[in-house]
Chains A and B, each alone.
Chain A
Amino acid sequence: MKLTRGAALVIGLVVAVYGTLLLYPLLRVFEDSFREFIPGRVGADANSPLTLTNYTDLLHEAYLSYLWDTFRIGFIVAFLGVLLAFPIAHFVARRRSDWLRRATIGLLITLMFLSVLVRVYAIELSFGPTGFARDIAPLFGEQIGSRFYIEFMIVLGLLHYSVPMSVLVLVGTIQNVNPRLIEAAQALGAARWKSHLVVTLPLSGRGLLSAFLLSFTLSISAFVVPMILGRGKISFVSNLIYNRFSELANFPSGSAVAVVMLVISLLAIYAVSLLASSRWEGAVR
C-alpha cells in the first residue's frame, strides 16, 4: 500500500525518536572526539580547536595493552564458547521433541536472559577467594590474586553468556544438516567420530563461524564482567570509556575511545551479516 499522510507522520515520529536518542548523540561523540580537552567541562566546548591528539594518544603503549587484552580474551572466549557449545547443540538438534530437549532449551534461554550481575556475582562467589579459588588456583600454579587467575575469572564470566548463545545459534545450523549424510558415511564404513569430523563439521561451518563472531563481538564490548571480575587489574576498552568519564571527566578522550570501539564492533557485525547473506556461499565454494 502507498504511504498515507497518517503513516508518514508515524514514521516521521519514530525517526525523530531515533534521531534524538541515537543518531544525534552519536554524532556528538564523533564531533567531541576531535575537540581539545578542557578540564572541568561535560562535553567539549563548541569553539575549542579541532585536533587529532585524542586519537594519537591512543597509540600509546598503555592503551594498546587495553586493546590487546580485550581482543585476546575475546578471542579465547569465542573459541572456547563454540568448542564447548557444539556437543550440546548437537545433542539438542538431534533429539525429537521430548522433555529433555525442551528442558535443555528452556535452561539455555533462561541462562541467556539472566542478568549479567547475577552471573558475575555467582562466579565471584564460586571461583573467588570465598569459593573454590584455593582449590583451583594451584592447578595452574598461580596465586588467587594473580593476573592470570583474574583473566581466568573474566573468561569464565564471559563464557557464561557465550556458551548458551552459541548453543542456540548452532542448534539451528545442525538441525539443517541432513542426518542421512552421516548415516551414509557410517554405512560406508566411516567411524562415528570421523563421519562427524568430515560431514557435520564442514556442513555447519557457517553456523560455527557466525557463533564465533557473535561471541567475539559481545565479548569485546563486555563492560560489567571485566569491571567487576577484573578488579582494576584487567580492563577492557569499554571500561576505559567509563573511567574517562567517572575518574578523569575527559570527555573528548572518552569519545575517541568510543568511536574506535564502535568502528570495530560494526566491522565484526558486518562480517556476521555477510555470513548470513547468500553472498557468502559463493565465497566459500
Chain B
Amino acid sequence: MKRAADNVLSVMVLCLSIATIAFLVTPLLIATVMSFDARQFLGQFPPPSLSLQWYVGFFSDAYYLKGLQVSLMLALAATTLSTLVGVAAAFTLDRYDFPGKEPLSAFFLSPLVVPHVIIGFSLLLFFSTIGVFSGPIPLIGGHLIITVPYVIRTTLASLVGIRKSLTEAALSLGATERRAFWKVTVPLSKTGIAAGAVFAFAYSIDDVSVALFLTGPNFYTLPVAMTNMMLNEFDLRIAAAAVCLMVLTIALIWVLDCIVGLDKVIGQGVYHK
C-alpha cells in the first residue's frame, strides 16, 4: 500500500518536472520554427512550408540593421570599460586594507539590487540636466553601471581562490611586489575576469529597461527596436531576430562553460564526493 502510494506520487512529481521543462523549452522551439514560416502573414502554428524570408527581411531592414550595429558597438564599449573599471576595483579591494572597505564593496555591488527601470529613469534625469540628450554617451554610461558589478563579483571570487602562499612563494624567491602581482595574481585570476566580461557583454546586449529611457528615434539599440516593433506590428522578422539572439546566448554560455565550467558555477555540495 505504502509502496503503491509512493510510486504514484513519484510518477506524478516526475510528470510535473517534465511538464515544467516542456513549458520552458516549447515556446522557444515554436518561435524558432515560426521564424522559418513561408507565409506572408503571421498565421497559426505550425507553418505549412518553410523559407528564409524573415531572416532576409530582418537582415535587409535598415531600421533593425542600425539597431544591431549600435548594440554591438555599445556592448563592446561597455564590456571594455566595465572590465577595466571592475578589475581595477576588485584588485584594489582584494589587495589593500583600509577603513570602510566592507561598506565600499557593498556600494560597488549595489547596482545589482536597484531595478533597471529606476537606473534608466535616473540617468535620463541626470543626462538631461547636464544637457546631453541622446547619442552614445548616456547609453555607455548606463550599460557601464549595470555591468560593472558582475565583473567585480566574478573577479573578486577568483581572487579569493588564489592562495596567499603562492604570492609569498614568489616574494621569497626574490620577485618584487609588482612582479609577483603581474606574474602570479593576474594570470591566476584570468578566468574570473573573462567570466565577468562575458556576463557584461550578455547583459549589455540584452538590456531593454535602461536603453529605452536613453535612446531616441535616431539612436537606438536592437532590443529597443524589437520592443517598438512588438508593440506596433507583430511580424515574424522579430522571430528571426529572436533566434539570432538565442544563438548568441547559446554561444556565450558555451564560452562561459569553456572558461569556468558550468558545474563549478553551482558546485557539487558537501555530500557529493
Asked whether A and B interact, the reply is yes
B89 within 8 Å of A (CB atoms): yes
A15 to B104, CA, bound (A): 9
Shortest Cβ distance from A238 into B: residue: B117
B26-47 contact mask (Cβ, 8 Å, vs A): 1 or 0: 1110110010000000111100
A10 and B92 form a contact (CB under 8 A): yes
- Smallest beta-carbon distance B87→chain A, Å: 10
- Smallest beta-carbon distance A92→chain B, Å: 9
- Smallest beta-carbon distance A215→chain B, Å: 14
27 contacts between A and B (CB under 8 A): A2-B97, A4-B96, A7-B96, A14-B88, A21-B141, A21-B145, A22-B119, A28-B125, A29-B125, A42-B124, A88-B17, A96-B272, A118-B249, A120-B230, A126-B26, A126-B27, A130-B43, A130-B45, A163-B20, A172-B267, A172-B269, A175-B268, A227-B231, A238-B115, A242-B213, A261-B115, A266-B113
Within 8 A of A (CB), among B222-273: 223, 226-227, 230-231, 234, 238-239, 242, 245-246, 249-250, 252-253, 256-257, 262-263, 265-272
Residues from chain A with Cβ under 8 Å of B111 in the complex: 22
Within 8 A of B (CB), among A1-34: 1-4, 7-8, 10-11, 13-15, 17-18, 20-22, 24-26, 28-29, 32
A52 to B269, CA, bound (A): 51
Residues from chain B with Cβ under 8 Å of A11 in the complex: 89, 92, 104
B144 within 8 Å of A (CB atoms): yes
B266 and A122 form a contact (CB under 8 A): no
A193 and B85 form a contact (CB under 8 A): no
A-B pairs with beta carbons under 8 A, tally:
261
The dominant DSSP class at the B interface is helix
A154-184 contact mask (Cβ, 8 Å, vs B): 1 or 0: 0010011001100010011011111100000
Within 8 A of A (CB), among B38-96: 42-45, 85, 88-89, 92, 95-96
A21 and B24 form a contact (CB under 8 A): no
Residues from chain B with Cβ under 8 Å of A156 in the complex: 23
B9 and A193 form a contact (CB under 8 A): yes
Given the contacts A4-B96, A10-B92, A113-B252, A127 and B24 also touching, CB distance less than 8 Å: no
Of B154-162, B182-190, B204-212, the one touching chain A: B204-212
B1-30 contact mask (Cβ, 8 Å, vs A): 1 or 0: 010011001100110110011011111101
A223 and B121 form a contact (CB under 8 A): no
A18 and B269 form a contact (CB under 8 A): no
Shortest Cβ distance from B252 into A: residue: A113
A10 and B27 form a contact (CB under 8 A): no
Out of A4, A29, A269, which one reaches B118, CB within 8 Å? A29
Further pairs besides A120-B230, A126-B31: 8, Cβ < 8 Å: A14-B108, A42-B125, A87-B17, A97-B272, A117-B208, A117-B226, A125-B31, A179-B271
Interface bracket on B: 35 or more
A53 within 8 Å of B (CB atoms): no
Shortest Cβ distance from A80 into B: residue: B20
Instruction: Point out residues on A near B: beta carbons under 8 Å.
Output: 1-4, 7-8, 10-11, 13-15, 17-18, 20-22, 24-26, 28-29, 32, 42-43, 84-85, 87-88, 91, 93, 96-97, 101-102, 105-107, 109-111, 113-127, 130-132, 156, 159-160, 163-164, 168, 171-172, 174-179, 191-193, 221, 223-224, 227-228, 238, 241-242, 245, 251, 254-255, 258, 261-262, 265-266, 269
| Interface core residue of B107, B223, B249, B266 (most chain A CB under 10 Å) | B266
Residues from chain B with Cβ under 8 Å of A110 in the complex: 249-250, 253
A16 to B205, CA, bound (A): 25
